[in-house]
Amino acid sequence: MVNIGSALGYLVQSLLIAQPNENVMNLTNTKSCINCFKLNNGEAIPAIGLGTSRIGSTDEEVILAIKNAIEVGYRHIDTADMYKNEKAIGIALEEAFNSGIVKREEMFITTKVWSTNHRKELALQSVRKSLKDLKLDYLDLVLVHWPVTFKVSDELLPRFTNESLIGGDLKTENFELAYQGLEEAVRLGLVRTIGVSNFNIRQLEQILMVGQIVPAINQVESHPFLNQNELLNYCNKNGIKLEAYSPLRRGDKAFFENKKLLEIANKYGRTVAQISLRWQVQRGVIVIPRTSKRHRMIENRNILDFTLSKEDMQMIDSLNTNDRYAKRSLTKLVSNYMDNHHFNMNQFMRILNSISIERNINSKGHRYVRKFIETTLHHLNPNWHVEEDSFASMTSIGKVQFHNIVATFIPRTELCHDTNDTIERIVLSCHYDSLRSSLINRSDNDLPESKFIAATDAAVPCSMLLIIAQFFTPYLNKIWSRSRRQHNLPTLQLVFFDGEESLSSHDDASKANIDSLFGSRHLAKMWQQTSVNSRTRLRKQQIKWRNHSPIVKKTKRLRRQLKERFRELCQTSSSSSSSSSSSGQSYRRSVDGANSQIGGNVKWSQGKQDRWPINGVQRSLQTTDGLMRLHNSYHSIDNIRLLILVDLIGGPNPRFFNTNLQTSNYYARLAQIERLVLKQQQTHNGKSVKPFFQTNPPFLLSLVRDDHLPFVKRNVSVIHIIPHPFPRAWHQIEDNLAHLDFNSIRRLTIIFNIFLLDTFNVKL
């Protein structure tokens, strides 16, 4: 028989420990719940609960811990299917109900649906399983455990053979579908309240958009070092209660020895744990500290008979460092979750969110572009959102109807396929007619080493290479550098490569995945046809842009400075060959002689007629004799590189690119120039100079033209690595990035040209 007096004694003890206090934010008392918060559905939840993750290594230890908690007054038990202790907790609850210590209606039981059950029917199935294991007729609260989706599996953490976790198919498995399953459980009477766990603001917004029931709870990690104030404010505005797990930072020594917390604890005659828990409850946050020790359970509950001053609340708030203790566990696998201080997929996805593909296409071509986007982007990742509007414009052939097609990437939270917590390199592979983005990471000691990732989040059309290479890349580096020193992150590198040869060092499975992903060559041809149809309009845009963009003024200034630099180099070369002549005379003689040798008809003069002998240089590239004359005229590889650099800044010459000279031959000519000059330099001084145009032709040309990328032959393999830090001159155009229109090739080349200035060490 149960000792009724003992049971009453436990009840009186719990009431004395948890006296109602008007100063506690929104605490209410009901017939079955003392010191509770009221949820948005009218249900009451105890302000203090018991977390049960790893509270015992055996079922007997779990049962004992739950019994102790109920005896000392706990009425809120938090568990999960993932904890694998629901059966033991069910036994303890059944014994407590049968003994009369507590009634079922006095208990508040929470469980969670795991990430391998992110389908509507699987979530409902998980609820039924938890009810059976816990020996209950209904559940008070069920949460979606994580906003990350794993492949449906009997294993908690399904893995590839290389130990990387397998993400689910987001078309049929995602946290939105899991939440809809919980809504169905409410309608069936299996669950009274539903909510989410480990969700950030954007993910909550997704739930609010698709769900019919507003989540009552969002359970996240929170403690004085991670106050979650922004998330708390958002939840309060939307009627969602925040619940804190690990409120004592899992017993971390640095937490309990914090001087400010110790000072406040001594002031009130309490422990650091009590101060931290009281701070949470006083600001309206539910706490579920985890412990299996009876005296700790009593200590953690004894927090409602005192109040922290406003100054002390602010002092504890000031301890926030966004230090997520759980970041070494599952959080490192969740995209769009970690805070800005720790670089992972969050920053990557945020930047992708700010990039859109925008094309103004005439009536003939817009259907192909839309089909390309829908069949390629949207098919591979539904986060690509396509919008279209129309407008009419007068052209040289009359009035033409244009269609403005915008494809914006709206990232959704998912598992980073085969990735770990810290990005080491971002790979942009140009697979002939298409482009894909993927990630390469270096893992921690307990995870596999870096591997080539064949999986991809989205395929993008070829023109995106320009955007990523020149806008997206420096922005990534800027974000990376903010926390690189503090967190000892590796150097961020960008790798561009094309086709099969670059993948030769990787396994056959990776190549097969890429081939299957980009096997539709006709889609790329559609995109090329569309680009041809819009060339006239793009040229008009470029002319209009040249006259109004503030960046053009900077470009012209850079070009003038480059000319001056080139003149100085020519003067130096001429002075060394003819020391008796004045520098000005030798300079003019050198330039005029070069023009005559290469067939140029441009004369150097001062003022408005000051010209640059680019046309002659371009013509000289088409013949071997012209190459030799160019080589003999300028002597220095630096001079020739500067000459070509100014050509790039000036934009591609339409007459030159409309000739029969193939683009691959064009850069072959540039490489031939380099070989001639380098050979001569090495003969004279014995020093070897690393070639530039020989090793990077497709990359350079891709930043000048956008019509049919890439231009390289199938047997050409190019890797270009941009090191950290990025060019010093980047800040010169940073303020103007918001106004960039990525339809204009010239705007993109300017950004790359500034990188070239730094590459050639041109002092501005």
As a whole-number percent, the residues of the chain with pLDDT over 90 amount to: 28
Q: For residue 372, count other CB atoms closer than 10 A to its CB.
A: 24
Percentage of residues of the chain with pLDDT beyond 70: 37
Range from 447-461, 523-537, 635-649, 700-714 that averages highest in pLDDT: 635-649
Question: What does the pLDDT read at residue 309?
Answer: 94
Selected residue with higher pLDDT from 634 and 32: 32
User: Which residues are known catalytic residues?
Assistant: 83
Rounded CA gap, 40 and 37, in Å?
A: 10
Residue 38 predicted with pLDDT over 70: yes
| Mean predicted confidence (pLDDT) in 734-752 | 31
As beta bridge partners, residue 522 has none
510 or 410, higher pLDDT: 410
Query: Alpha carbon of 78 to those of 56, 82, 141: distances in Å?
Result: 14, 12, 9
Q: Is the pLDDT of residue 451 over 70?
A: no
- The secondary structure of 91-120, three-state, reads HHHHHHHHHCCCCHHHCEEEEEECHHHCCH
CA dist 707 → 75, 335, 526, 670 (Å): 67, 34, 11, 21
User: Could you read off the pLDDT of 421-443 as tens digits, one per residue?
Assistant: 333 333 333 222 222 222 222 22
**SS3 sequence, 486-509?**
HHCCCCCEEEEEEHHHHCCCCCHH
**pLDDT confidence bin for 154, thresholds 50/70/90:** confident
Asked if 714 and 512 touch (Cβ cutoff 8 Å), the reply is: no
Cβ atoms of 382 and 357 within 8 Å: the answer is: no
CA distances to 7, 303, 468, 480 from 410, rounded to whole Å, are 56, 44, 16, 22
Predicted pLDDT of residue 321: 83
Q: Tell me the three-class secondary structure of 378-418, residue by residue.
A: HHHCCCEEEEEEEEEEEECCEEEEEEEEEEEECCCCCECCC
User: Cα Rg for the chain, rounded, in angstroms?
Assistant: 33
Mean pLDDT along residues 634-652: 42
Instruction: Give the containing element (helix H, strand E) for 39.
Output: none
Query: Coil, strand or helix: which one is 705?
Result: coil
pLDDT of 640 above 70: no
Q: How far apart are CA 538 and CA 536, in angstroms?
A: 5
Span 308-317, average pLDDT = 94
Average pLDDT over residues 142-149: 89
Indicate whether 163 pLDDT > 70.
no
Query: What pLDDT is stored for residue 112 in this prediction?
Result: 97
Going along the chain from its start, the domains and CATH numbers come out as: 4-321 (3.20.20.100), 332-532 (no CATH), 542-759 (no CATH)
- pLDDT value, residue 148: 80
User: What tokens were used for 598?
Assistant: 């290469």
With cut-offs at 50, 70 and 90, classify the pLDDT of residue 254.
confident
In this prediction, residue 164 carries a pLDDT of 53
**Which stretch, 109-118, 557-566, 573-582, 682-691, has highest mean pLDDT?**
109-118
Burial group, residue 240, by CB count within 10 angstroms (0-12, 13-18, 19+): buried
In the three-class reduction of DSSP (H, G, I as helix; E, B as strand; rest coil), residue 222 is classed as coil
Whether residue 610 has pLDDT greater than 70: no
